[in-house]
Amino acid sequence: MYVSISIGEEDLELIMGKAYGSAYPAALQSAHCPRCRLPDNAELLPERLWLNPAGDVLVQGACRQCGGAVEKLIETGIDPVQFDQAMAIRDYKIEISKDYEVKV
């Protein structure tokens, strides 16, 4: 299935491992808001997390300053350990638990 599926923050924590505590907050602090045009330093308030087939995570949410829609891609798929964990979670959700939504 070559679509992005929904995941929770606990899934992201499992994917990122030890990097979660520092890398995830840093990613949320370095988003780009097209509405208030803050250059890669808008704070993202996460609303949805999507795991794509490449093992990367797209965080969808709103800009803390203006409330505009903001997205941030966290490239977890480039790290082999994180990629393997992402694929394990993806396979589990798709094949066993059926606990996911598809990003349209």
Whole-model pTM: value is: 0.90
Mean pLDDT in residue range 87-98: 94
Tell whether 103 is covered by a domain.
no
pLDDT in tens, 62-88: 999 999 999 999 999 999 999 999 999
Tell whether 65 is covered by a domain.
yes
Tell whether 67 is covered by a domain.
yes
Structural domain containing residue 12: 5-97
Total structural domains within the chain: 1
* Buried-exposed string 30-50: b where 16+ CB fall within 10 A, e elsewhere: ebbbeeeebeeebbbebeebb
Quote the radius of gyration of the chain (alpha carbons, Å).
14
The reported pLDDT for the residue numbered 36 is: 87
pLDDT in tens, 22-74: 999 999 999 999 898 866 778 999 999 999 999 999 999 999 999 999 999 99
Q: Which strands sit side by side in the sheet containing 5-7, from one edge to the other?
A: 5-7, 44-51, 57-63, 69-74
Tell whether 90 is covered by a domain.
yes
- Exposed, middle or buried: residue 104 (CB in 10 Å: 0-12, 13-18, 19+)? exposed
Q: Report which DSSP code applies to 4.
A: -
